[in-house]
Amino acid sequence: MPAHAAVAVVTDSTAYLPADLVAEHGLTVVPLTVVVGGRSLAEGTEVTSAEVAQALREWRPVTTSRPAPQQFVETYLALAARGAAEIVSVHLSADLSGTVDAARTAAGQVAGEVAVTVVDARHLGMALGYAAISAARAVAAGAGAAAAAEQARRTAYTASAWFYVDTLEYLRRGGRIGAAAAMVGSALSVKPILHVVDGRLEPLDRVRTASRALARLEELVVEESGSRPVDLAVQHLASPDRAEQLADRLRSRVPGMRLMVVNEVGAVVGAHVGPGMLGVVVSAVS
């Protein structure tokens, strides 16, 4: 948190924000937990995406869990000790994780020390990341916590995110998508494309090959972006070449692109989507 800021912005590790953007905007990131082979590990510091991808390929059990409320309590009190009078805490969809509930519980516990506004972004990945950045930008421009939280909501609720996965089996096992939808995705060996609808992952389309999936994702981004100013993200798990190919195409086809992030998702989302996932995010610039 910048020393002059009276409002701090917190998010969680499922935003998958590059370290330079975290530093640039003075964000604080609370990690979720990944359990691999019975070992509980903090996302982003104790377990890598590659380790999770390998465990999934070997069908070793991989589960995830939200941060404990005490982690948020400690984070909020540390920020207050560094001068934060208010905190905006922006997190992934409550339909996908109990992280928001943990943050709200902690906010109640520290109410006598620092005021915390918790935002359910109804998203994940860089759709969440850009929402946290928008809150930080609002703070840098002089906004208070209420206005910064509203900016985060506006950015998140107008963002679009799509995901190609090689199989829906990992999402089905993790309870993030229904068995019926998973069966539809596995029929005829089609490759599913999903999107985020009000905080939930829902099937959108089915394609035959990974190359067609890339083409479909590209068209979805181009159509959604139009000529307006947008921030984009291409995120993947164990599929860097396909991610770079898609990012290169989008750079040449989206005239209003302000910022492009290309990176690998971390262990938590990776555990649910499986190797080969490719995701794209369009976030309107306000």
User: Per-residue pLDDT averaged across 112-138, rounded?
Assistant: 97
User: Per-residue pLDDT averaged across 259-268, rounded?
Assistant: 91
* Residue 74 belongs to domain spanning: 7-32+67-157
Q: Which of 53-57, 119-123, 223-227, 250-254 has the lowest mean pLDDT?
A: 53-57
Whether residue 245 lies inside any domain: the answer is yes
Query: End of a domain among 115, 139, 157?
Result: 157
Exposure b/e, 91-124, CB count within 10 A at least 16 = b: bbbeebbebbebbbbbbebbeeebbbbbbbbbbb
pLDDT in the model for residue 142: 96
Percentage of the chain modeled with pLDDT above 70: 91
Residues 189 and 148 grouped into a single domain: no
Query: End of a domain among 157, 191, 219?
Result: 157
Unique residue bearing structure tokens 């991808």: 53
202: helix, strand or coil: strand
Q: Would the pLDDT of 87 be above 50?
A: yes
Percentage of the chain modeled with pLDDT above 90: 66
Q: Residue 120: which residues within 8 A CB-CB, separation 6 or more? A: 91, 93, 94, 100, 199
User: Per-residue pLDDT averaged across 46-65, rounded?
Assistant: 84
Whether residue 57 lies inside any domain: the answer is no
Q: Would the pLDDT of 191 be above 60?
A: yes
Residues 189 and 228 grouped into a single domain: yes
Which residues sit opposite 162 in a β-bridge? 195, 280
Given pLDDT bands bounded at 50, 70 and 90, which one contains residue 25? very high
Q: Would the pLDDT of 6 be above 80?
A: yes
Given pLDDT bands bounded at 50, 70 and 90, which one contains residue 183? very low
CA atoms within 13 A on the CB side of 152: 34
CATH code (residue 245)? 3.30.1180.10
CATH code (residue 73)? 3.40.50.10170
Q: In angstroms, rounded to a whole number, what is the distance separating the alpha carbons of residues 261 and 233? A: 5
Dump pLDDT digits (tens) for 102-115. Answer: 999 999 999 999 99
Inter-residue contact 41 to 83 (CB < 8 Å): no
Average confidence score pLDDT of the chain:
89
pLDDT in the model for residue 144: 97
User: Per-residue pLDDT averaged across 76-89, rounded?
Assistant: 97
